[in-house]
Amino acid sequence: MNPLRLAFVATLLAQSVLAQVQPDAPPPYQPSAAEKQEIQAKLDEFATVLKGLAAKTSATPILPRGVKAVDPALLDDVLVFQKAGLLMLRYETEEFFLPDHVKATLDTLDHGIARAKDLSSGEAKWPEATGQIVRAYRSKIDGDLQPYGLIIPESYNAKKPTRLDVVLHGFSLTINEASFIASHDSGKPADSSQDYIKLEVFGRTNNSFRWGGEADVLEAVEHVQRHYNIDPDRIVLRGFSMGGAGAWGVGLHHPARWVALEAGAGGSGSRNSFKSDNTPPHPGSAFRTYNMVDWALNIANMPTVGYGGELDPQLSASVNIREQLVTEGYEFELKGLNRYPTTASASLPAIFLVGPQTEHKWHPDSKQESENFIVAACAKGRHTPKHIRYVTYTTRYSDCFNFKIDGLERHYDRAELDALTSDDGRKQEVKTKNITRILMDYPVAGLDMTLDGKPFPFKATRATGDMLPAVLFQKKGSQWQSSFVKAADLAADPTVRKKPGIQGPINDFMMDSFLVVRPTGTPNNPLANDYAKAALEDFVASYAKWMRADVRVKDDRAVTREDVAAHHLVLFGDPASNSILAALADLLPIKWTKQSVKVGREDYKAEDHLPSFICANPKNPNRYVVVNAGHNTMKRGETRKLPVVSFQRLGDYSVLQLQKNGEAITDQLVVEGLFDEEWQVPRE
C-alpha cells in the first residue's frame, strides 16, 4: 500500500471510530464579563499572596524582606491551583463546559489561596491530611505542573508501607484542571472500608493515557511514592471505559510494576475493533505500540481482571485479549458468563468477567468478584514468577523483573523472552526471539543459566550495591556472549543505535524531557522554512491546549551544552536557518542540502519538500534529535474528542511535498518509514 493511501486510510479510521464512540461536544458556556472579572480578581489576590513565597533550593539567594523560602514540592501543590484558574481564562470561550465551571474555578482559586497563606504562615497541613486532596508534580517532559487526586484513609500510618490503587478516569467532555481539582479536593473522608491510598490520575485530560498521558501515570505514581510510604509490591492499576483502555496499555506495557491489573470496558486497541477495510497496515508497523491485543501474553506475569457488560460493545476489548491468550496456548472454561483458566492453564493469573444484562458500567456482582481477586493478589504481593513470559515490540517497553531487553533485531516485530526457573531457584532456562541484547541483575545467590541453549553459570557472591555489576548478554551472529557492566558504562556508550528510550517513533520524544529549538537564521528555501515556523507555532499552541502545558522553547543560538545533555532537541527550520541542525546535518540519516532532501537512494527537491524525522542525537546518543516534527503528532482534529484513535500512525521519518496556496502552505505526504536499528534508512 503506498504512503498516500496510508494517510487516507488513517483519516477514514479516525472518522469511523469517532462516529462509533464519541458524542459531539456540547457548546461551552460563555461566562459573563462580571464572572470573568471575579475570576481575575481571585487570580490577582492569588498573585499577591504568592509574592511572599519562593522555592527553597541549595542555590537560593538572599531573599527580599517579607519573602519566605518554602519546600518547592509544597509550593507546586499551591501553584497548580493558580494554573487551573489561568487556563480557564486563557481558554475562556472553550473550556467553561458547564455553567458550574465558574464556581468550580472560583472554589479552586479559594482553596489555592488558602494553601498559599497556610504555607506562608508555616501551617501547611495538607501533606499530612487524610480524605480527598489534590497534589501536583512537575513533569520532566515539559517542566509544567500536573495535578492528581488522592483519597487517603484515616488509618494511613506513615511508618507502615501502604497499598496504592492507581485509578485511570473515563472519557469526559467536561474535564479540565479546574473541574478536576474542584471534584478531588473536597476533603471528604475516605470510605470506612478503604485501607489503602487511592491515586486518581489527571492524565492531561483525554488521551487514553497514551504517550505523554502514559508518562503522566508513571510520574504521578513516582511522586506519590516520594511523599507517602507506599508498598512497592502492592500497587494496583485499574480503570474503566477510557481508563480501562489506559489500564490495558500501561498495564501490559509494564507488567512487572503492578501487583494486579483491573481493566473494565476499555478498548484494547485491537485491529478487530475496527472495520477490516479501515485497518491500518499492522504487521511490522508502529501501530503495534498501542495495539494491546498483541501484548496480551504479558498477563502471564501479572494478576489481571478483564471486564465488560454483556450489553456493552466495549466487552469486545477483554474478549479480544482473552482470545489472544488462547492463541498463546492458554485454555479457559465458561462458568455462567465468566471465563477462568482451566486446570491445565492454572498458572495464568487472570479472570474475564461479564456483567449480566449490563451496559457500559460495572455489575455489582462482577465488581465484588474483581475486588476479591485483587485483595487476594495484594495479600500475596508482587513477586517474580517462576515462569516469565514477556513480549514486546519496542525497547520503549523492555523491563520485566530482573531482565531488561536492551536491543532488538527489528523493531515492531514480535520479541519474546521466556525464562523458566527451577523450583529450587538454582537453574534457569531462558529462550528469546528477535532480541540482540539483554541486561540482567547479577544473581547474588548463584545460578546455572542457559540462554538459547548456551550455558552461563554464575557463582554466588557477597557483593552488594555499587560493587555488584549487571550482566550484559550480547548476540554476536547466532551466539550469545556475556560481560559485566555498570550503569555508568551504559550511559557513556557512544554507540548510535536503537535502545530503551531512544528507539522512536516520532511521538516518542513526548515521553521525556524535550526542548523546542526555534530557527533564527536565513533559510536555504523560504517555502520550507515558512512551513516549519508555522508548524512550530502550531505545535506549541496544540501542545498547550491538549497536553496542558507550555513547552520549553529556545532560539537556536541560545541552546547550551547543558540543554543538549538534558533534553531531546526538537529542531524546526532547515540547516541554514537553524544552527543546531547545521551542526548536526552531516551526521543525520537524512541528508538535507539547499538542493535536495536525500532519503536512502531517493532524492527530493529541497525547494518544495520538507523532511520530518526522529533519530538518536549524534552528539548525545541518550537523547533524540527531532526535525520538524511535533505538529504532525498533534494534528488529529479535536483531541478532546479523539482519545480512542490516538494510535501511532507515523514511523520514524517522512517527507512532505509543500505547495503555496495563497497565504497558506499545504502539505502532501510522499514517503514515510522506519530507520533500521542503527538509525539509518534501510537499503531495501
List the single range of 421-430, 556-565, 587-596, 658-667 with lowest mean pLDDT. Answer: 658-667
The mean pLDDT of 461-487, rounded to a whole number, is 91
User: Looking at 431, 459, 492, which one is the last position of a domain?
Assistant: 492
354 part of a folded domain? no
Range of the domain at 135: 31-228
- Asked if 462 and 534 sit in the same domain, the reply is no
23 part of a folded domain? no
- Asked if 487 and 544 sit in the same domain, the reply is no
More confident residue, 366 or 466: 366
What are the φ/ψ torsions at residue 22 (nearest 5 degrees)? -105, 135
467 part of a folded domain? yes
Among candidates 415, 366, 369, 375, which has minimal Cα distance to 393? Answer: 415
Pairing of strands 53-55, 68-70: parallel
- Asked if 542 and 645 sit in the same domain, the reply is yes
- Asked if 452 and 530 sit in the same domain, the reply is no
CA angle 436, 440, 441 (to 5 degrees): 170
370 part of a folded domain? no
565 part of a folded domain? yes
Separation between Cα atoms, residue 268 and residue 171, nearest integer Å: 15
Average pLDDT, the chain: 91
CATH of the domain at 614: 3.30.379
The mean pLDDT of 20-39, rounded to a whole number, is 82
Using the predicted structure, report yes or no on whether residue 57 has a pLDDT greater than 90.
no
Provide the pLDDT confidence category of residue 170 given band limits of 50, 70 and 90: very high
Instruction: State residue 526's pLDDT score.
Output: 95
User: Looking at 228, 257, 287, which one is the last position of a domain?
Assistant: 228
Cα atoms found within 13 Å of the Cα of residue 655, Cβ hemisphere only: 20
Per-residue pLDDT of 521-547, as tens digits, reads 999 999 999 999 999 999 999 899 989
- Asked if 66 and 167 sit in the same domain, the reply is yes
- Asked if 529 and 488 sit in the same domain, the reply is no
Give the cell for residue 268.
484494547
Provide the pLDDT confidence category of residue 351 given band limits of 50, 70 and 90: very high
Instruction: State residue 278's pLDDT score.
Output: 40
- What's the Cα-to-Cα distance from 29 to each of 128, 243, 257, 344, rounded to whole Å? 37, 26, 42, 58
7 part of a folded domain? no
User: Looking at 460, 492, 524, which one is the last position of a domain?
Assistant: 492
Provide the pLDDT confidence category of residue 640 given band limits of 50, 70 and 90: very low
Could you give the number of structural domains in the chain? 3
The mean pLDDT of 116-140, rounded to a whole number, is 97
Among candidates 300, 307, 189, 142, which has minimal Cα distance to 240? Answer: 307
Instruction: State residue 633's pLDDT score.
Output: 64
Share of the chain above pLDDT 90, in %: 82
Instruction: State residue 25's pLDDT score.
Output: 66
The mean pLDDT of 134-158, rounded to a whole number, is 98
546 part of a folded domain? yes
- Asked if 512 and 541 sit in the same domain, the reply is yes
- Asked if 69 and 208 sit in the same domain, the reply is yes
Provide the pLDDT confidence category of residue 284 given band limits of 50, 70 and 90: very low
- Asked if 549 and 642 sit in the same domain, the reply is yes
152 part of a folded domain? yes
- Asked if 569 and 530 sit in the same domain, the reply is yes
Provide the pLDDT confidence category of residue 197 given band limits of 50, 70 and 90: very high
- Asked if 480 and 517 sit in the same domain, the reply is no
Separation between Cα atoms, residue 423 and residue 495, nearest integer Å: 39
Instruction: State residue 4's pLDDT score.
Output: 29
The mean pLDDT of 162-189, rounded to a whole number, is 96
Share of the chain above pLDDT 70, in %: 91
- Asked if 102 and 127 sit in the same domain, the reply is yes
